[in-house]
Structure formats: structure tokens, C-alpha cells
Chain A
């Protein structure tokens, strides 16, 4: 009895066909911590951008008669040394901090993906060259170098974002390079080559879609790092300068009041901590969701 037809019992198990992305999305939804963090992050970022409108005050409205007030209904976070409403300032600070972090993510990912893919795919001396550059940047004590560059170029949010990206693209590049090198050897890539696909097509259609997952995880971590670095530099006076508020320089401005009104100093820092915490949980959830190991049906 010869038979090369598969019988109907060979039909696929699920009625619904799910792409890899859809499967990952479902798995992500099951990760409660990540989902909660995502929701809270969205709430937080929305607050940064919209909650300020609820107040009657602007971030720079000075009123010396209302210095250093405690939190009240008028001023939910109180006021600072020259009477400015701290709630609005904090929200705006959050806005700028997040903006810088997102800009860093964008720039670093763009640069890192391109260079990482080139290094991973071409190999040989191109890879050696790019890898050594990456190693060099990683060896250098980042905060010190950043401090120098930030002072010179980083007084505006965009400037700071550029400086931070120049440091952080290396992380993305490393991840991309690793994944590209791994996938380059897989047989389905060879199959595409055998059929006549150009290197551009191979990298673009076959390798990069498989890179997306790992890069996404790395981006979430990058956002956390970026916001901490931004806050640190701005606190040191080397990053974004007043009058533009960021969570970092808000801490700096309030630091004198640490004995009288410690909350004023701690609050922006606490917000940064929360942001990083949520972002890390999100990253964990993404990593678990994208792990092909749990893809058994």
C-alpha cells in the first residue's frame, strides 16, 4: 500500500492560524506583571502629558508670596522656593524626561540596528572593526565621558538625547549582531540564497524580522537606562538646564529643602524609580512572550 498523500488526520491542530507575532502577543497577555506594568506606564505617561492641564498654574508662574507651601488642593505637590506649582513642574519634567528617553531609543536603535546587522552579516574585517568600536565605547567609563559631552552639547533635550544615543547604540548593535550571526547560518537563509535572493533581501526579509523580538526587549531596558542617565546628568547640572524642567534637575533644584520637606526632593526620584521598574517588568514579559521555547502547542 503506497501512499504519499497525508490523510486528514494530518490536518493542523488549531483551526485558527496564528502568526508568530500573534502567538507572542497572546503569551504576553498572560504575563500579569507585565500587563499591569504596561497599563501603569501608560497611565503615568498620560499623566505627564495631560495632567498638567488640570491645574490653573503654569510651570513658570512665579509667586513669591506662595513659597514652599505644603501639598494642598490648589497645589497637589506644593510649591517651590519661588512659588511655582510643583505638580505642573513635575508633570512637565516627566514629559521631558520621557521625551529624551524615547528619542534616545529611536536614535540608538536606528544606528545600532544598521551597524549591528552589517557587522553580523558581513563578518570578517567589517565585523572586527565595528566590534572594536563597540568594545571601546563600552570600556570607557560612561558617566565621565557623558558628563564631558553633555556639558558641551547636552543642554537641550535633543542634544542630550544625541549624546546618550552615541553611548547606548552599542547595546542594540551587540544584540542585533548576535542574532544576525545566529540566523545567518540557518538553513532557511541558505535556502533563500539558493533560490537567488540578494543579500539585501535576505537581511531585510529573512533575518531582520527575526531580530525584532530581541531588539524590542533591549529597547525597553534601554529606555530605563536612558531615563536614569538623563536624570543623573541633569541633576549634576550637566544635562538639560533650566528653565526646561526634567525629573533630574527638579531634584537638583529642591535638594536644599531635604531637611524641611524631604518629599519634595524624593518625589521626582521616586517617579524615575517607578518608571524603570515598570519598564523592566514590561521587558521581562516581552522576553518571555518571544521565547520560542515556550512555543509548544
Chain B
């Protein structure tokens, strides 16, 4: 298998005042070299927590179990020293809000150069030169001059590009993008995703794209994992998920999006109720209380991930009865 990243039974739980919150429950997936894997879901589904857990950026109240093999090393059990060598070098990460991810008191060029200096034995001058090259690569015009500017002199789209530059400066093999365009205007969003795609092709990057925006996913992902209440509920290729989904939550999610192509005037399909508590999860299927296809068995039994066709997995007790949902 050509897997760059192989995650098995990853679980993350947090100790809080009110009890233990199970944010991620036994999630397994793998990403192959060069592909764009999207993790989608709504607020609280655990997608961001998964990414932070892989990078080991969670605080001490978090307990991580399971394994995540990346280039021969298990990220879950690696030491902090080993992780530091990986972050920014082998795995890059970009976040939602570029303003808070960039330090306002250092120039953009210096910040990119720093990432290079931390991981490579080169001179400051050489590092700055790499920084300018990276800024060029991500399409920041007049890069040499702009490298001497501060983050507040950059617009939102430019800052996000700078962050991408920082994340890829050491030619990582994996890039984790956590809601990279949510805070951007739609026209700028298109620019930034274009940059990301160009960069991905240029250096053969694997991208783990975390987002709630299914439109973004439709345009850029190769494979999709749908998450709900800390679990993976469906996983498959782009067209399988969008056109041949076998999971009621995925279907309900797709249905509730107002489409630019669809019918005006009709009420939107909604999902009644709200997501389950992560403190005391329901006994059976997590989605049962809100599912259109629920039967008694769903309340008592926990469904497991099953394969419905090569590469297409879904978590639903009634998968064989209800077939393709469209």
C-alpha cells in the first residue's frame, strides 16, 4: 500500500470539570502520496481535534490512543523531540485565521526563514533567500520587497499565502489544512485554493483538508471522510460520496445545502434535533435520534464501518436494506 499516513483506531478524550469528553472515537484512515483527503463534518464532529492530535498539538488534558504511522514513525507514541523534528519539516500545517497564526512583531520573511533555520543547517542569509523563493512560489507579487513587511501590511488572502509558504518551506510530504479558507472572502478563497493546488502539484504534496464546506471539497478533494460525533461515518472517493452515498447522515447533510442549481421556493431539508453529547454518548448509533431511517435496532446496537464497494466504507446498520441514497 502506498500509504503515506496510516491512522488506526485513533481516540482522543479530554478531562474536563464535567467529566470525560470523547472527542474522537476510534478513527482509522489512510492517505496515499499525492492525494487530497478531505475530512468533513459540522462543528464538534472531531475533525480539527483529529488533526491537532496527529500533530500532537493538544494540551495535557487530552489523552490520545491508537496509532498514526507516518513515514515509519508512530506519531501518537513519538517523543516531543521527535515531533519537533517533524513539525514544519515533514508535516506542515495551516490554520483558519492567518492573523493570529502570524506573529505581528516579526516580518513575514523572517518568520518563513525561521521555519527553515530551525530544521536546516544553513546560514540566515540562505534561509531568507529560501523564504523569498517560497513567497514567489505561492504567488505573492514583489516577494523580495514584501518579505520585509509585517503581517498587518498584508491582506487576508496574502497572509494565508504566507502561511502556506511557511508550511511548505521545508518541502514536507504532508500538509494539514484546517479550515484554510473559512475566514476568507469567496473570491480570495478561489485564489488561495489555486495556489494550494499549484504547490501540491509542484512538490508532490499530500493534503489533509479539514473543512465543513462541501463546495470546497467538491472542487478539490480526491477522497472524503465524513465525521459525526467523533466517529467516521462514511469514507470513499469524491463521486462515491456525493452521488452514491450509503450513509443517512451524509445524505441529510448534502440535502440541507441550498444549492445554486436546485429549486428555489422549496423548504430546505433539515436535520431535526442537534448532535449528541460527547460527555455521555448514546448507546447505539450516534445519529439514530435524528435519522430518517431509524429503526429500534439502531438505538440499541452500535454500527461498525463496513465496506460497500472497494474503497467505500459506511457506518450504518441498515446499509444493505437502504442501498444508495440520493
Contacts and interface: CB of A to CB of B under 8 A. Distances in A.
A159 to B, nearest CB: 48
Contacts, number: 30
B290 to A, nearest CB: 7
Given A1-B272, A7-B272, 5 more contacts: A2-B267, A2-B269, A2-B270, A9-B273, A10-B273
A5 B271 CA distance: 10
A31 to B, nearest CB: 13
Interface string B8-35: 0000000011100000000000000000
Interface in A1-52: 1-7, 9-10, 13
Interface residues of B, number: 15
B242 to A, nearest CB: 20
Interface in B249-285: 267-270, 272-274, 276-277
B289 interface: yes
Given A1-B292, A2-B268, A7-B289, A13 B277 contact: yes
B290 A9 contact: yes
A9 B269 contact: no
A297 interface: yes
Contacts of A7: 272-273, 289-290
Nearest to B270: A3
B270 A1 contact: yes
30 contacts: A1-B269, A1-B270, A1-B272, A1-B292, A2-B267, A2-B268, A2-B269, A2-B270, A3-B270, A3-B272, A4-B270, A5-B272, A6-B272, A6-B273, A6-B274, A7-B272, A7-B273, A7-B289, A7-B290, A9-B273, A9-B274, A9-B276, A9-B289, A9-B290, A10-B273, A10-B274, A13-B277, A296-B16, A296-B17, A297-B18
B13 to A, nearest CB: 16
Nearest to A4: B270
Contacts of A6: 272-274
Nearest to A2: B267
Contacts of A13: 277
B326 to A, nearest CB: 15
B132 to A, nearest CB: 40
A13 to B, nearest CB: 7
A13 B268 CA distance: 28
Nearest to A10: B274
Interface string B293-317: 0000000000000000000000000
A5 B274 CA distance: 11
A146 to B, nearest CB: 39
Q: Which 10 A-B pairs have the closest CB atoms?
A: A7-B273, A2-B267, A9-B273, A3-B272, A7-B272, A10-B274, A9-B289, A3-B270, A10-B273, A1-B269
Contacts of B269: 1-2
Contacts of B267: 2
Contacts of B277: 13
Interface in A253-297: 296-297
A19 B289 CA distance: 30
> Counting chain B CB atoms within 10 Å of each CB, which of A3, A13, A296, A297 scores highest?
A3
A107 B270 CA distance: 57
A290 B292 CA distance: 43
Contacts of A10: 273-274
A42 to B, nearest CB: 28
Contacts of A297: 18
Nearest to A5: B272
A285 to B, nearest CB: 16
Nearest to A296: B16
Nearest to A7: B273
Nearest to A14: B18
Nearest to B269: A1
Contacts of B273: 6-7, 9-10
Contacts of B289: 7, 9
> Counting chain A CB atoms within 10 Å of each CB, which of B268, B270, B272, B277 scores highest?
B272
Interface in B41-67: none
A296 B290 CA distance: 25
A1 B325 CA distance: 14
B49 to A, nearest CB: 15
Contacts of A5: 272
A9 B16 CA distance: 22
Contacts of A2: 267-270
Nearest to B275: A9
Contacts of A9: 273-274, 276, 289-290
Contacts of B290: 7, 9
Nearest to A9: B273
